[in-house]
């Protein structure tokens, strides 16, 4: 059984891993992510040094790309052999953790001179597995005193290595995405003189839109990490309380039959909370998952309310007066549910952010009939509104009023609305705040033309 100190240590390590995961999702600079990983690993395991080695196929070695605690001449300088003659190489080749509790008793590995220069006594290495196949590199921590790295430490390091691997994939995708966006911009500018390449360009743009949507979802997930933890904390805490109460009830000696019934009720409540936590995770997984478009007849009110519940994670205490108005007897709409919820999520989160610094915070969603064959959804907030220069270029890429925004959200929303047979536009009705409306086709209707935007 774990002692209170061990439980506290594990709790601290899990918290550190969660903090790093949140940071890694927000940061697109891979070197910054790797450096922070080394720092948090060293701090969480109470050691002085940590380093991350990346495998270089052409040189067939492990190169120190980031670290914590080392003097000059290590990070960005040192290499080790990618074979079993070094601790890093053995972890890289075998995929198994390598631990030396006392390097002075080592007879198996060739340790570089800087170990002695930094008075390294104990060391532990774990593999960073490439998400694209093969092995990416090695994560190592080093102590200046004898340290027995136990299985909990190894699990912690392995968890960090997994997050680092995800960060590498995200970084590569971000770089590729920026290159693709620049390529798309050039293609659009040259479309009049490159008509012969029209078919190929349209295919490239569809693929790019799919990637942009996926990046948008992953970025949103990074921003929501703390909110997700808050949402899940309640059902998980309730589960722990119910199970603890059931255990105490069953241990009671008097009236065992009645106690069993009480305990069963508590276990049932714990099960309900577990299902609730699972539903939260499922909704978020659906938001982030990269998938092909699938359109089907959907109840738009249910789609709107589910998207609202996801978008409002973490903002329950923001004093926003929320209202959802749905017209009676609305027909079903023919849509890709996840894509429409992505539009709603982006617009709702934009509204919430726009109302952050205003006193009166009202968010209104209205669902009702539009022009023949279409249903309209309107999102209106009482926020600060939009600058005129942003309004003039609203749906162009990289146009944003946010200091940390990518300027892709509205462009993606417009693309998704059109992909579902509808259209998205901003309402210019001289009402304070900002309002957007999009229309969607009903599931069973004649071949109506798209409604004109006034």
Those residues of the chain that have pLDDT short of 50 are: 223, 226, 398-399, 404-407, 446, 454
Predicted structure pTM score: 0.41
**pLDDT at position 183, please?**
75
Q: What angle do CA 234, 239, 305 make, to 5 degrees?
A: 45
Neighbouring CB atoms inside 10 A of 151's CB total 8
CATH superfamily of domain region 4-173: GAF domain (3.30.450.40)
C-beta separation of 365 from 325 below 8 A: yes
**What are phi and psi for residue 113, nearest 5 degrees?**
-60, -30
Contacts of 8 (CB under 8 A, 6+ apart): none
Beta-bridge partner residues of 79: 63
Distant-in-sequence, close-in-space partners of 318: CB < 8 Å, separation ≥ 6: 352, 355, 356, 361
Q: Does domain 191-288 have CATH number 3.10.530?
A: no
Each domain of the chain, given as residue ranges in start order, spans 4-173, 191-288, 296-441
Kindly report, residue by residue over 364-402, the tens digit of the pLDDT.
999 999 999 999 999 999 988 877 777 766 766 544 555
pLDDT of residue 319: 82
CATH number of this structure's domain 296-441: 3.30.565.10
Q: Which helix (H) or strand (E) holds 452?
A: none
Quote the distance between the C-alpha of residue 288 and its chain's center: 7
Instruction: Say how far apart CA 56 and CA 60 lie, in whole Å.
Output: 5
- How far is residue 101's CA from residue 197's CA, in Å, rounded to a whole number? 62
- The residue among 388, 411, 414 whose CA lies nearest residue 401 is 388
Rounded CA gap, 437 and 454, in Å? 12
The Cα–Cα gap between 113 and 101 comes to 18
């Amino acid at each position: 059984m774990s002692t209170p100190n061990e439980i506290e240590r594990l709790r601290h390590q899990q918290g550190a891993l969660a903090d790093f995961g949140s940071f890694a999702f927000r940061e697109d600079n891979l070197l910054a992510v790797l450096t922070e990983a080394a720092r948090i690993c060293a701090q969480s395991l109470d050691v002085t040094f940590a380093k991350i080695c990346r495998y270089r196929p052409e040189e067939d070695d492990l190169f120190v790309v980031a670290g914590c605690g080392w003097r000059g001449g290590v990070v960005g300088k040192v290499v080790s052999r990618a074979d079993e003659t070094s601790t890093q190489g053995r972890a890289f080749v075998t995929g198994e953790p390598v631990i030396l509790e006392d390097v002075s008793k080592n007879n198996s590995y060739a340790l570089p001179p800087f170990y002695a220069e930094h008075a390294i006594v104990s060391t532990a290495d774990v593999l960073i597995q490439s998400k694209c196949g093969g092995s990416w590199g090695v994560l190592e921590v080093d102590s200046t005193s004898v340290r027995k790295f136990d299985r909990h430490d190894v699990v912690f390091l392995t968890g960090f290595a997994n997050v680092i691997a995800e960060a590498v994939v995200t970084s590569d995708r971000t770089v590729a995405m920026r290159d693709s966006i620049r390529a798309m911009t050039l293609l659009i500018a040259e479309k009049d003189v490159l008509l012969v390449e029209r078919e190929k360009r349209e295919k490239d743009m569809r693929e790019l839109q799919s990637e942009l949507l996926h990046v948008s979802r992953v970025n949103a997930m990074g921003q929501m990490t703390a909110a997700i933890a808050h949402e899940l904390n309640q059902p998980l805490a309730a589960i722990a309380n119910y199970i603890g109460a059931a255990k105490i009830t069953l241990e009671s000696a008097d009236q065992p039959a009645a106690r069993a019934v009480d305990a069963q009720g508590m276990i049932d409540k714990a099960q309900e909370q577990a299902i609730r936590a699972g539903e939260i995770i499922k909704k978020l997984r659906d938001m982030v998952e990269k998938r092909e478009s699938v359109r089907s007849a959907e109840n738009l009110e249910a789609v709107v309310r589910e998207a609202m519940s996801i978008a409002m994670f973490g903002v329950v205490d923001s004093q926003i007066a929320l209202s959802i108005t749905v017209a009676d007897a609305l027909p079903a709409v023919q849509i890709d549910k996840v894509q429409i919820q992505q539009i709603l999520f982006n617009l709702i989160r934009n509204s919430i952010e726009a109302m952050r610094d205003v006193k009166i915070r009202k968010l209104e969603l209205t669902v009702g009939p539009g022009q023949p064959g279409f249903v309209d959804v309107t999102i209106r907030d009482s926020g600060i509104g939009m600058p005129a220069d942003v309004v003039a270029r609203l749906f162009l890429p990289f146009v944003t009023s946010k200091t940390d925004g990518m300027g892709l959200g509205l462009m993606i929303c417009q693309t998704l609305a059109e992909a579902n047979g509808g259209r998205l536009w901003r309402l210019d009705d001289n009402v304070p705040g900002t309002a957007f409306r999009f229309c969607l086709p009903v599931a069973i209707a004649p071949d109506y033309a798209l409604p004109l935007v006034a």
